[in-house]
Structure 1
């Protein structure tokens, strides 16, 4: 689901159209916007009204859960991502996304997430795969999200909601070599434009609007870059091993929401993405 965020959407479309086929992509446009169809030719664009943002998170979640349930009637797996998220594989583990999912026999897959950051001195980003141009990344518990399901199941708070009686037994699986690349901070020019939109929306009238993360988006972005730059630098093998060993086990099982999700741990290291990822993004 998307509102503006054109640069991120363009990379989301280019990446997933290449690996999954444009005909298998669905974009929910939050308000009429002909530019979305121009950015995503071949994808199915579904427009929903933008008359009110009250109860935004709840309404959005329920609508997307319902839409995903319909897609499960015709697809083996339904992948659910934000416009600034890419599902990627390590080519040393899986040749492509099809192979990654063919190897899974679980109801829900969680991907190991990382933030991609623009660093001081980086050239302005050009058309083409992001991960060839932005290789500084930091693994993130927050963005290690449930990304795909084999049957209808509600997604919530980066995890999935299950029956209370299955809360302790529901399988949590994070395949080694499957990653969620979060692009929000990979393009500083797009960050600045997106923050203006977010702050304008969050400052509007009504209840249940997006929260403080949108209202103070510029401050949050500055804090992110400061924190990112202050992380310890590990080599890829050490960083990925530590992140996977930490986040692929002992998921949060939150009784209040009947929720199963990766722990939103903050890791102290960052690393450089190997060049073999460079044709993705």
Structure 2
């Protein structure tokens, strides 16, 4: 009999987000079912991990290579687990508590080979909100979300998947976001940490000059981008499955997925919400 769920990420020098990631997922599946692929970390942040750690040599960042390797690793884990979750270290998957008591409960109720989340950026209002205390639940310190098509990722697999670079889609399935599966992206949740992380990704080696351009922008451009997100007009929404605003975006992604079925990225990754939505109270304290 296979275990229900394993969780996987890949890191390089992530002293802030890795503890947040591990705290969240270890609470859900247990430390022994969390797997960290360590891509040559040299800042000590993975030295004493209590979970499973697989060390691989440091090399220039190559998203295509990275995706191939992780796809193969997760396929292998499916020999021992019914479902495998892969997400980046700044991505938090949550089952909507209005529908399911836990992520494993959601997985047990679904039979689809791939489950796609509805994705949101957690936004820092830098002029109004203090820096995050990463030792406390982040969902108690931030209040605003922006819908992001790029974060509507097929994170949960029950059969081997051929992910696209960036894990935005799988070759074997068109996007169909699950209304009860939420992905909260933390990259824009803290201005100070975002700039610190950006300084690291600017300095690291990349496989080509074109690769990772969004990870190598200037501090000024990054600040302006975050300010633009935080300045969007607020709009009320419940984020429940029957919420008309959320349904509009879900149906648009499904429709575009059919129209772009031959594209390596059947979702337009530049598609983002033009409003800020409040983080509903039922998610407060969950991550």
Query: Normalised by the shorter chain, which TM-score bucket?
Result: 0.7 to 0.9
- Bigger mean CA deviation after superposition, 20-29 or 118-127: 118-127
Q: Which residue does the alignment assign to 2:63?
A: 57
Whole-Å separation in 1 of the counterparts to 2:235 and 2:128: 20
Whole-Å separation in 1 of the counterparts to 2:54 and 2:47: 10
Q: Which residue does the alignment assign to 2:107?
A: 101
Q: Which residue does the alignment assign to 1:159?
A: 169
Q: Are residues 48 and 196 of structure 1, via their aligned partners in 2, closer, same or farther at CA, if it must alter by over 3 Å?
A: same
Whole-Å separation in 1 of the counterparts to 2:98 and 2:104: 15
Whole-Å separation in 1 of the counterparts to 2:157 and 2:84: 6
Q: Which residue does the alignment assign to 2:229?
A: 228
Structure 2 residue ranges without an equivalent (≥5): 1-9
Q: Are residues 256 and 181 of structure 1, via their aligned partners in 2, closer, same or farther at CA, if it must alter by over 3 Å?
A: closer
Q: 1:130 aligns with which of 120, 133, 138?
A: 138
Q: Post-superposition shift, 1:76?
A: 0.5
Q: Which residue does the alignment assign to 2:79?
A: 73
Q: For 1:155-214, what per-residue CA distance to the aligned partner results, in whole angstroms no more than 9, with x for missing partners?
A: 11400013xxxxxxx464322121000001112221111010011125x7x636733212
Q: Which residue does the alignment assign to 1:25?
A: 34
Q: Which residue does the alignment assign to 1:190?
A: 193
User: How many equivalent pairs are there?
Assistant: 267
Q: Are residues 244 and 7 of structure 1, via their aligned partners in 2, closer, same or farther at CA, if it must alter by over 3 Å?
A: farther
1:250 aligns with 2:255: yes
SS at match of 2:81: coil
Whole-Å separation in 2 of the counterparts to 1:221 and 1:101: 36
Whole-Å separation in 1 of the counterparts to 2:78 and 2:190: 34
Q: Which residue does the alignment assign to 1:177?
A: 180
Contact 1:85/1:183 (8 A) holds in 2: yes
Q: Which residue does the alignment assign to 1:166?
A: none
Whole-Å separation in 1 of the counterparts to 2:210 and 2:35: 25
SS at match of 1:181: strand
Q: Give the TM-score of the pair, scaled to structure 1.
A: 0.86
Contact 1:116/1:138 (8 A) holds in 2: yes
Contact 1:159/1:262 (8 A) holds in 2: no
Q: Are residues 59 and 263 of structure 1, via their aligned partners in 2, closer, same or farther at CA, if it must alter by over 3 Å?
A: closer
When the two chains are superposed, the root-mean-square deviation of aligned CA atoms in Å is 2.3
Contact 1:31/1:48 (8 A) holds in 2: yes
